[in-house]
A and B are shown apart, each in its own frame.
Chain A
């Protein structure tokens, strides 16, 4: 199996800091996540009003991907970039919020706008919509970041020619504990696409 792919871009968002390709682009030490991510959204001029309807997981994923895809020349209608994301807590952060809207039978007003985010793959849907990614996508859940799986799955998509670019990501969010590590795999780029490099990006 050919293994000549490269990592073209990577973005890490953790501890209220945003890194693109290893360089800190934004940080905001004191704020809670909602204020931090809103400030980051404004600084990076994402310009996408639907951002404010998203849940925490989707906002986190959205921003990490936006920074990477800004570097590419995407078109307005149709782009083929596969999205393969994973995390540990699925959509539990939002699930807990939704549960509280049905917990009290006296004040029983289930919210459709919250319910729709009680599936972890919705963050992938949001990304696909914004960037017109009519391409392969999947969401997995693992106890911890699984570089071996992500590496092999991305290579399989590329080798079987189902796509020529893969956005891989670990996007974990639960109650102010969060980490996003998103990287773009394709034919050309600065870093080698292998398990060691992927783990280095994750652990830095």
Chain B
């Protein structure tokens, strides 16, 4: 077996050194009834050729986004990732290192995390950010739990514009931690009424919201603060912050975002990278790892993981979160991509996305029977169709166009959303793609 360096002679020599007559002796503590004599019922070892052949066959059964006109968003976005990103994250020193608990052997990872934290803080307009969480949805649930710890209040209000997966993850966490969740109904195109009382720990909103609508949450932030509650702003398309007023400038107390859109492929939903940013005054309540600057015994600048008394390996049941492994390498990909883009690149990328979406919205809204629901948007918007959106998605796929997400896939119980289609356009979309889409849609609705 190509990954096992011991030879039969090594094994015999090592067993002799140990003083065991067979390997079975080393498993003597396993109860006899649980010892398996033979092999488990799996195929035997295969070479790289066979493995590559079998997995490539599976991969070929999928329609890759890059092979068709592609307009799906809904919390994961197809952006171009420069070749240098993937090259750098595959360097073994990044790819195959552990969590940087021994800082002298991990200054590379730690400095990159410090840069990542700075980038996330700048982008979100917040004071501090952590070294990543699993994804946007779990970051949102962690933000809700953090608001509960800070305010010592028991209720979280979730906007109807919050991504349904984020809402569901918050609800799952809350049902076990004893928090009360008030999830408002989704109401695309309508400004929802959010009520606060003195039991409200936080209000969780999203920008742009799940239906693509951009909103200024500044007034809500002020109301939250008046009531002693925190405002949590979720961002599912991080590239939007290259063009849009950041949550920090609206008065957000915590930002929970999905960072996939920068540096990371679609990957069928994971691994992604949860971004988590907050105000400095709450730093000791932040979940997850934090890289911090310090000096070594010679007075030189260096980096360590810090404030670990918040974390499970020190605080155990009193930790701010149970998270250990996070999304380190995805965070690195994010940091490298954003370093490449820089201020000029990111802002231009964001403008390209917005331009593509405006172009697409105009074209699709011009198809008879189609109505644009979203008033102001970044790179994703909602359309009302004269037929069920799920049906349109299926027929479009048959025509070789991945045309968006039917809201009914996420809200099957809501009849009023059955005709609602979410459509996204990024810098990857060409004019030809847009033509193909509008032609196909027109044909379907004819």
Q: Do A and B bind each other?
A: no
Residues of A bordering B, CB below 8 Å: none
